[in-house]
Amino acid sequence: MNAGLEIELAELLLLQLFAFVLFGRFEVETHAARRIIKWFVIYGITVGIYYWLGHWAALVPVLAVIPGSIYHVVWCKKNGIHPLKATPRKKYYQLRGWKWEE
């Protein structure tokens, strides 16, 4: 068996699943088109790197999660938001510029 791009695509699918489960509450009001474009860009970069560096491309999304998560936690703490629960919800909505409905 000679695995090609399937390894990277499976990894991206798992990464997308975990990102949705862990951070989905932070994207509740984000337009679907923006979220879809974000994942197309992530997949596109990874596939492009695969054709350039081979299976080393599998490291790129994993390594990108590290600074992204650090930034996320720092931003949340700085703004008084819980980094996993997105609470207090009203304050988070205000920071994102979303409309809060009671």
Q: What does the buried/exposed string (b/e) look like for 30-68 if buried means 16 or more CB atoms within 10 Å of the residue's CB?
A: eeeeeeeeeeeebbeebeebbeeeeeebbebbeeeeeee
Query: 33: which 2 tokens?
Result: 């088109």
**pLDDT digits (tens), the chain, 102 positions:** 457 788 888 989 999 998 888 888 888 888 999 999 999 999 999 999 999 988 888 888 889 889 988 999 999 999 999 998 888 999 989 988 888 887
Return the amino acid letter for 32: A
